[in-house]
Chains A and B, each alone.
Chain A
Amino acid sequence: MKAIKIIETLNNEVNEKEFSRREAFNKGINLGIKGLFAAIPLGMLLKPTKTYAGTSSAVDVLNFALTLEYLEAKFYSMGLSSGVVPGTDTAVITQIGKHETSHVATLKAAISAAGGTPVNEPNFDFTAGGTYADVFTNYATFLTLANAFEDTGVRAYKGQAVNLLGTDLLTAALDIHSVEARHASEIRRLRGQKGWVSGNMTAGVPAAIYAGEDNITQGGVDVTTVTSISCLYYGIL
């Protein structure tokens, strides 16, 4: 499976602009939290707080996240073994890779605990059919894709959060979400950029991931009308 295809698909699914309340509710209300926590190896993570009918959606959400974590874990693992990462940045990339591997294990355990079956790891083509042929020989290309994966991760967890509303699974998802955001900040800075979005100035690829970074409408309100701060600094992604 082409890595870029995956993130484009993920991105389409979680695009915050298109993520409707209705969809959120359709998915969210169907969470089967009670059955889902029948077996609890992750006791602390998975204490039920609400009971819904059906179990498919929570597992879908987690499997969706798991696919992204597989992708990230594999990407950093291959990057570190390929030698593309310079010694100065090894500590950073190693730490990120460690987290992604942990996220895979955490999500697999959560899916099993929920009575679901973790999806298998796909085969990834990180060159995206040759578009990024030098991903593991050119550090700039490697970081470009790392940037895309991390920012996608942030958006994916944020987009899916509403589907876990009112549950402790939500807390676990948020606890992963902020880790991805820390990673995204660090990768952006390794690329000589700011750690955060500042208008459409990221010049990241693929473009689909970065469309809408200059969005200034939040909760139906133009943020620039409630603060004197420039729209380049609205700080709400």
Chain B
Amino acid sequence: MKEQNLQEKLQAVFAAPLKRKSFLKYTALSGTAMVLGLEACKKDNNNNPTPSGSVTDVGSGDPGILNFAYALEQLEAAFYIKVNASFYSNITTDEKQILTDIMNHEVAHRDFFKAALGSAAIKTLSFDFSSINFTDRNSVLSTAKALEDTGVSAYNGAGKYFKSPDYLTLAGKIVSVEARHASAIRDLLMPKTSSFAGDDVIDATSGLDYSRTPNATDSAHPMSIVATANTFLTTKISATLLP
């Protein structure tokens, strides 16, 4: 019962912008308009992210962005769960606490997106972390750094594509946590240097962090975020309907 109430609440909050207004609007009109309505519906509300072959597409519009974020949070959560399952050798108490906190945050983010998306959520992804040596501090923290920086730039880049101010605010709340993680991880790798917000990630002139759309590449990032995520995924994702 509690579950159901929760689902209703989430639907009310999250599904409101997903209502098929354009569809309803056009169904009373001519056949042509009906087609247009369906088109509009399809374009704005791809609630059914489709596995095409072995690839899961995140869909389009606000649900697409949320699913893209959900995929990244699944990846981060899975990574930190593995880190926490068996910490690297000689880990300090401070590092352990940080990596445990981050794991909890990422799991909470993952669960939140899953609940928010409800039936529109992409499936639970599976991962291949064989490229990471979980017994090695540098391997773990370098991967964590890359994942956190990628997460920050992904939320920053996706922000302007949200139609719903509510989603934007929620994404804003999550990205600031990811940025706090990135800062802490970077500081573990290079303590008390400028690295926590280093010139490699913050433009030294404008003071701006990176923002990247899911498929974009640039000179500093020859691989898109989707492609980077896929290096850790056995169930690949795509974001063909997002920039």
Contact = CB atoms under 8 A, between A and B. Distances in A.
A79 B195 CA distance: 20
B18 interface: no
A91 B193 contact: yes
A206 B241 CA distance: 45
A149 to B, nearest CB: 15
B149 to A, nearest CB: 10
Given A99-B207, A106-B207, A171-B156, A235 B104 contact: yes
Interface string A79-96: 000000000110110111
A28 interface: yes
Interface in B145-184: 152, 155-157, 159-160, 162-163, 165-166, 168-170, 172-184
Interface stretch (A55-63, A111-119, A158-166): A158-166
Secondary structure class of chain A's binding surface, majority of residues: helix
B46 interface: no
A233 interface: yes
A175 B212 CA distance: 10
Interface residues of A, number: 66
Nearest to B193: A91
A158 B112 CA distance: 19
A227 B207 contact: no
A106 B180 contact: no
A106 B206 CA distance: 6
Interface of B: 2, 6, 9-10, 12-14, 97-98, 101, 104-109, 111-112, 114-116, 152, 155-157, 159-160, 162-163, 165-166, 168-170, 172-184, 187, 192-194, 196-198, 202-211
Given A174-B159, A227-B112, 12 more contacts: A95-B196, A171-B156, A171-B211, A174-B156, A176-B207, A179-B209, A198-B101, A218-B112, A218-B173, A219-B14, A235-B174, A236-B170
Interface of A: 16, 21, 24-25, 28, 49, 88-89, 91-92, 94-96, 98-103, 105-106, 154, 157-158, 161-162, 165-168, 170-172, 174-179, 181-186, 189, 194-196, 198, 218-221, 223, 225-230, 233-237
13 contacts: A89-B192, A92-B196, A102-B205, A102-B207, A154-B176, A177-B176, A182-B182, A183-B197, A195-B180, A196-B101, A227-B111, A230-B104, A236-B177
